Structure 1
Amino acid sequence: MATTFLEDAARTQAAEAIAAIESQTAAEVVVSVRRSSSDYAHTNAWLGAGIAYVNLMFLLFIPQEVHLFAFPPVVLLSFFGGALLGRALPSLRRALTSRKLQETSVRTAARAAFTELGVSHTSRRTGILVFVSLLERRVEVVTDYGVDPSLMGPEWQDALTQLAAALAASTAPEPFFQALRRIQAPLARVLPRLEDDVNELPDMPGVVA
């Protein structure tokens, strides 16, 4: 069975990749994995409403006569059944949620996690958060003031593109953490590891939320 981001083995892979990156750079990298960046409750509600509407139209237009007392329970059960279906099937919820909303939700959650996880508390302000949101299959990289992406040029952007592509293609962690190691070269060039460098943030990600 393939390893997933939710398993301890994936956390170990993350720690190994981070340790390898930080062996060459003064940057402090943190990986955070979340099941989703939002509950997208409105999407579940829209799905429930859609199914309820279809069933209502069915009751109204079928040739057989349906007692009026049957309408409210059928509509209500259809609504709640559709909403529960959305919660039970993440892929369906993702398909019914706009790409723009997913991007905004992941970006907002990543910036909140940046503060919550203390990535902004390093002595040289060289923290980097790699935020993985599984439902949306998106990764958001948030850098502190001491990390200037513009100095790392196309090599940095190419690494981020590879990282996003790895997650979009599969939820298996191996390709993702292989792609993550690509950020080492541009970081080492712009922020080389110092002799007195201390590991200020944990390499092992916390339990998936």
Structure 2
Amino acid sequence: MSLLSESEQRQVSEAIDRIEVDTDAEVVTVLAGQADDYKYIPLLWAALIALVVPGAINYLPGWLAHHQLLLVQWALFVVLAVLFRLPQVAPRLIPRNVRHGRACNLARRQFIEQNLHHTEKATGMLIFVSEAERYVEILVDRGISSRVDNAVWEGAVARFTEQVRAGKTLQGFLDCIETCGAQLKHAVPATHERNELPNRLIVLD
């Protein structure tokens, strides 16, 4: 996984510049490499297996003495804790609802931290992506949500998510920004020139 290069980030910024000419909405894009480090989850799996497996084999006749069982448990825990921390293994151990929950929380924090809730006429929009979780979300303030049905953004999110899964994050951003811009142009048309928030892609790595 690699985040967008500087030239690709500029393309995202330029796309926002183009759509904001026609709308009073303030669009902010955030790209996170990963929403959480999930360090505790590999340890939980290692501890669970180290408790269950030696306990199960101990029921076999004449298998292990008590002190040997403890050694096996400790050795198994250490080996699995190291193995489960490998980048190729760790993501597979994290339940989907946990990954999406962490990404969802980060998106909402970014909405606040980027001051999208303080825009003139409450027309802030966040397009958020977390690559490791393959998670995309669009959050809008009440000035937009009162004029555009959430189903419109859900469709854009679904398409963008497929592009992230296919490794086409840049194209996903560009397509999503264009789709959102078309909706915002009619729902929240430009009334005067302004630019309250930065248009650059914010990268959290």
TM-score scaled by structure 2? 0.79
Question: What are the Cα deviations for residues 66-122 of structure 1, in whole angstroms up to 9, with x where unaligned?
Answer: 887666565435424433443332x64333222222222222111111111222222
**Residue of structure 2 equivalent to 1:201:** 197
Segments of 5+ residues of structure 2 without an aligned counterpart are none
TM-score scaled by structure 1? 0.78
Q: 2:90 aligns with which of 71, 89, 93?
A: 93
In the alignment, the residues of structure 1 paired with residue 154 and residue 196 of structure 2 have an alpha-carbon distance, to the nearest angstrom, of: 25
Within-5 A mapping of 1:173-188: 173-180=169-176, 181-188=178-185
**Structure 2 residue identity aligned to 1:146:** G
**Residue of structure 2 equivalent to 1:166:** 163
**Contact 2:12–2:170 (8 Å) recurs in 1:** no
Q: 2:22 aligns with which of 13, 21, 24?
A: 24
Segments of 5+ residues of structure 1 without an aligned counterpart are none
**Contact 1:6–1:208 (8 Å) recurs in 2:** no
Q: 2:122 aligns to what SS in structure 1?
A: coil
Question: What are the Cα deviations for residues 165-209 of structure 1, in whole angstroms up to 9, with x where unaligned?
Answer: 222x22332331232121111111101122x22111111123423
Give the CA RMSD over aligned residues.
3.2
C-alpha change, 1:93 and 1:24, in structure 2 (3 Å) is farther
Q: 1:103 aligns with which of 100, 118, 126?
A: 100
C-alpha change, 1:8 and 1:80, in structure 2 (3 Å) is farther
The answer as to 2:14 corresponding to 1:36 is no
State which drifts further: 74-83 or 101-110.
74-83
In the alignment, the residues of structure 2 paired with residue 9 and residue 46 of structure 1 have an alpha-carbon distance, to the nearest angstrom, of: 41
Once the 2 structures are TM-superposed, how far is the Cα of residue 151 of structure 1 from its aligned partner? 2.6
State which drifts further: 102-111 or 150-159.
150-159
In the alignment, the residues of structure 2 paired with residue 131 and residue 154 of structure 1 have an alpha-carbon distance, to the nearest angstrom, of: 17
**Structure 1 residue identity aligned to 2:26:** E
**Structure 1 residue identity aligned to 2:96:** R
**Residue of structure 1 equivalent to 2:186:** 189
Once the 2 structures are TM-superposed, how far is the Cα of residue 143 of structure 1 from its aligned partner? 1.0
**Contact 2:35–2:130 (8 Å) recurs in 1:** yes
**Contact 1:13–1:177 (8 Å) recurs in 2:** no
**Residue of structure 2 equivalent to 1:15:** 13
**Contact 1:52–1:79 (8 Å) recurs in 2:** yes
**Contact 1:4–1:172 (8 Å) recurs in 2:** no
